[in-house]
Structure 1
Amino acid sequence: MATKSFPPRPAPRLYLATPALDDPARLTADLPAVLAAADVAAVLVRLKPADPRTMVSRVKALAPIIQGSGAALLLDGEALGNQFELVARSGADGAHLTGIAALEEAMPALKPDRIVGAGGLPTRHESMSAGERGADYVLFGETDAQGIRPSSEAVAERLGWWAELFEPPCVAYAASREQARDFVAAGADFILVDDLVWSDPRGAAVALAELGEAIGAAFASAARTGHGGTEVSQA
């Protein structure tokens, strides 16, 4: 076994997923204030299926706001099917794919110019396979095809395992502020949120600002207690 030293772990950042969009008009009105409320590294744009021209137009309506804030714009591969050329045509920075098969299919069209993220990885083997195939990040904790999520404990365990052994970032899907704090402590590099923000009756900007503060506090606490070392053992 050899010891590998990574740089000190940076503070985790937010990854914001939109609702499934058919008309981006309302979101374009709300999004500037939302993105200004916290440190958002990326926005995952979810589109309702439509013809290619319509999907490209929807993305282009959002791109100046998202990218102008300094966040990356990624498209959810669920609506793209195998039309990965839409990522470049729309000006998006990359795509999020679900499952190893989709990841393999998308790689030739998206790499090396675009970000490619991977989710739908229920086993450690699939997670490692995604990393080996060049995924820029792996996502843990999202719902499966039946709408079932793994337990918080299972997600935290997977995050800790990945953060200890592998270099590509890990993203954790959080459905509550408590989960966001727990997943930061477990080693998540990014926290993905969606309905937790958009369904908050106080408004998405307020909800996202609170999440940003919670993530920062959890990271500071983990650093004080020594969770987040920079040395790992690898074969």
Structure 2
Amino acid sequence: MNPTQTPNRCRIVLIAAKDEEPGRLISAFDGGDVASLILPAWGMDDDAFQLYAEKIVPAAQENGIAVMIAGDARIAMRVQADGLHFEGNRRDLEDLIEKHQSKMMVGTGGATTRDDALNLGEARPDYMFFGKFGYDNKPEPHPRNLKLGEWWSEMIQVPAIVLAGSDAASVPAVAATGADFVALTAAVFAEGTDPAQAVALINAALDAGAPVFED
């Protein structure tokens, strides 16, 4: 279960793996602190995606985990998720923020340059995600994401999420950037991995070595 006191350091954001069984995904929550969960559709049609989310959202929220639905505000509202993750152009992002940010969080990602990130950041999303779903297929984080996350965290108040690599040992490199959150998929949900144990070990590593944020 999540601790009652929120850690004052980089925290975990889980991204559901493609074809991940709801029960196995939910089991990860037993590993300790998780700030948020992002649910991509991974090619599911709307009905299937909604049914999938409905199995997960309540369990996550009972553990104090905010759930972000990737790409579809209607499904986010239907399943009573905490927010919407959107990747696209600034104009569409601004429209979503205007329509929905009073009722739910709206985060964004997809930027591969500083200019792209600043352009999206001017819409004032709730967070900026550096990485791409499903692309944590190498042990180490992508160097570009680390550089962007470090620059963003130093310069911009909007929280940063940076995608780690497939190896849990890559998490300290993300925390060292000063990013608010480390995003994890393969390091927690790869075949043969115990999700709860992986989350527990990653939390222990963050407790031991992640920079402490200033109050």
- Taking structure 2 as the reference length, the TM-score comes to 0.83
Q: Is the 8 A contact 1:16 1:40 kept in 2?
A: yes
1:133 aligns with 2:123: yes
CA distance in 2, matches of 1:218, 1:177: 13
1:172 match: 162
Residues 1:91 and 1:199: Cα distance change in structure 2 (over 3 Å)? same
1:96 match: 85
Q: Identity of paired residues, percent?
A: 23
AA aligned to 1:116 is V
Rg larger in structure: 1
Residues 1:32 and 1:141: Cα distance change in structure 2 (over 3 Å)? closer
2:103 match: 113
Q: Is the 8 A contact 1:177 1:214 kept in 2?
A: no
Look up the SS of the partner of 2:18 in the other structure: strand
**Any gaps of 5 or more consecutive residues in structure 1?**
1-8, 231-235
CA distance in 2, matches of 1:46, 1:151: 20
1:62 match: 56
Q: Deviations over 1:148-175 (max 9, x none)?
A: 9x96433222222111111111001001
Q: Is the 8 A contact 2:69 2:84 kept in 1?
A: yes
Q: Is the 8 A contact 1:31 1:65 kept in 2?
A: no
Q: Which has the higher strand share?
A: 1
1:189 match: 180
Q: Is the 8 A contact 2:39 2:69 kept in 1?
A: yes
**Any gaps of 5 or more consecutive residues in structure 2?**
1-6
1:41-80 equivalent positions in 2, closer than 5 A: 41-77=35-71, 80=72
AA aligned to 1:39 is D
1:5 match: none
Look up the SS of the partner of 1:91 in the other structure: coil
Look up the SS of the partner of 1:217 in the other structure: helix
1:216 match: 207
Q: Is the 8 A contact 2:37 2:67 kept in 1?
A: yes
AA aligned to 2:162 is A
Residues 1:202 and 1:130: Cα distance change in structure 2 (over 3 Å)? same
CA distance in 2, matches of 1:143, 1:59: 17
Q: Deviations over 1:189-230 (max 9, x none)?
A: 0000001111152411111211111222221xx45xxxx678
2:195 match: 204
Shift of 1:97: 1.4
Residues 1:154 and 1:202: Cα distance change in structure 2 (over 3 Å)? closer
- Taking structure 1 as the reference length, the TM-score comes to 0.76
CA distance in 2, matches of 1:142, 1:178: 19
1:6 match: none
| CA root-mean-square deviation | 2.8
Shift of 1:65: 0.5
